[in-house]
């Protein structure tokens, strides 16, 4: 299990977390190379289906990062992402995805060290969980 390297999809808000990730690069804040970033315009843009799609396509973890509550570039898109995340976590559980594999974080543009720290912690946690194995569907099992 020790050589398991998780693959994680990160949806980063263009206005804060993506800038923090860029700044983490400029500042050379080392991160484990397991996170694949997809830039979005707002954490509120991340359709729950994107997260499910990522797990279905083989991701071991998914993170969504946006602006701190009150700082959203689009007034309150991050709050909508937050509201959605509760339901999404339940849905993921239903689908057999451990809740720890999905994280929603607030990372401001100025918080590049925090971004690197968050990435490293999340990678460690997902590595601990091991690879995400989608459960065999009932239909597949039930075929006579």
Give the Cα separation of 46 and 30 in Å (integer).
Answer: 26
Q: Which residues ranging from 81 to 100 are in contact with another protein (CB under 8 A)?
A: 81, 84
Contacts of range 90-95, beta carbons closer than 8 Å, 24 or more positions apart: 91/48, 91/52, 92/51, 92/52, 92/55, 95/52, 95/55, 95/135
Q: Max alpha carbon distance in the chain (Å)?
A: 58
71 contacts another protein (rule: CB under 8 A): yes
Residue with tokens 């594999």: 101
117 contacts another protein (rule: CB under 8 A): no
118 contacts another protein (rule: CB under 8 A): no
| Nearest distance in Å: CB 58, another protein | 4
132 contacts another protein (rule: CB under 8 A): no
Footprint of another protein on this chain (CB under 8 A)? 5, 7, 9, 15-16, 18-34, 36-42, 44-50, 53-54, 57-59, 67-68, 70-71, 73-77, 80-81, 84, 108-110, 112-113, 116
């Amino acid at each position: 299990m020790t050589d398991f390297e998780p693959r994680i999809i990160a949806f980063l808000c263009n206005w804060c977390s993506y800038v923090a990730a860029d700044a983490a690069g400029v500042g050379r804040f080392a991160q484990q190379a397991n996170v694949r970033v997809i830039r979005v315009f707002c954490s509120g843009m991340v359709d729950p289906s994107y997260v499910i799609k990522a797990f279905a396509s083989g991701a071991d973890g998914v993170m969504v990062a946006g602006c701190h509550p009150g700082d959203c570039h689009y007034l309150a898109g991050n709050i909508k992402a937050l509201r959605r995340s509760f339901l999404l976590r339940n849905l993921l559980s239903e689908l057999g995805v451990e809740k720890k594999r999905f994280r929603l974080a607030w990372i401001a543009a100025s918080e590049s060290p925090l971004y690197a720290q968050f990435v490293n912690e999340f990678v460690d946690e997902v590595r601990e969980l091991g690879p995400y194995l989608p459960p065999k569907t009932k239909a597949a099992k039930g075929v006579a």
